[in-house]
Amino acid sequence: MRILSFLSLAFAMSSPLIAADLPKSEASTSSVAVVGGGCFWCVESTYKLIPGIKKLTSGYAGGKTKNPTYEDICTGDTGHAEVVKVEFDPAVLNYRKVIDLFFEMHDPTTVTKEDMIKHGKFLPKGTPYQGNDYGTQYRSIILYANEAEKKDAEAAKAAAQKDWKDPIATEIVKQTDFYPAEEYHQDFAKRNPFQGYVMGVVQPKTEKFKHKLEAKGEKVKEE
C-alpha cells in the first residue's frame, strides 16, 4: 500500500519504446538489469542520475499473475514486485556496477526490521517495507537473466553487507516475465513534480542519492 495524496492521473501518451523498437545499432549496445527496491518511481528517479543509463521502464515481475495491473499489484496477492528494467550502455557501465549502485540507493535490509507501528497499521515482523511503502510488492529484489548475472548480484550483495548492521534481505531470483507498468507510471517523478508522494518521498530520496554519489567523486547526469 503506497501512501499517496492522490493517484488519479492518466496520460494518453504513446507507449515507450522497448529495446526491439530501437535502431539495430542502438539496441545492440544496450545491456539490461531488472531490479526492485520499493516504489518504482524512486528506483527510476535515482537511476536517471547515472551516466550510461539509456532507458528505464517501470513494471512488474517476480510473481505468477499474468498481465497484472497496478490495482492487482496493490493487493499484494500477485507475487510480483514493483521493478525497473534498467537498460544501460556496457561501454560505460557493467552489470556489477549497476547492481552495486542498486544497493546504495535503498535500504536492502528492511524485511528484517523489528515489529513496528507505521501509518496506523501494525507490521508483523518480516513484512517487507521501503520507506513509506509496505507489502511484498515493495520487497528488495534482483532478477538475473543468466549465471554470470547471478554471480555478480551475489557478489554485490556480499560486498554491500559491510555497510549494514542488519542482514541484507534482497532476493536474487531467476528472471521471469517482465510486465511494463501502465503508461502513467513511466517517468512519473519528472512528469508529476508537484504530486504529493513525489515531493515528499521521491525527490528527497533522489537528492540524497545524488549527494552520496557526488561525495564519492562519481559523475552525476544532469537533465
Residue 221 and residue 93: Cα distance in Å, rounded? 13
Residues forming a β-bridge with 140 = 37
Spell out the alpha helix ranges (H) of 2-88. Answer: 24-27, 40-47, 70-74
Q: Catalytic: 74?
A: no
Q: Are strands 179-180 and 53-61 parallel, antiparallel or unpaired?
A: antiparallel
Catalytically annotated residue among 32, 33, 39, 49 = 39
**Closest C-alpha among 192, 187, 223, 195 to residue 45:** 187
Collect all residues with Cβ–Cβ distance below 8 Å to 89 and sequence separation of at least 6: 29, 30, 31, 52, 53, 54
Q: Please identify every residue annotated as catalytic.
A: 39
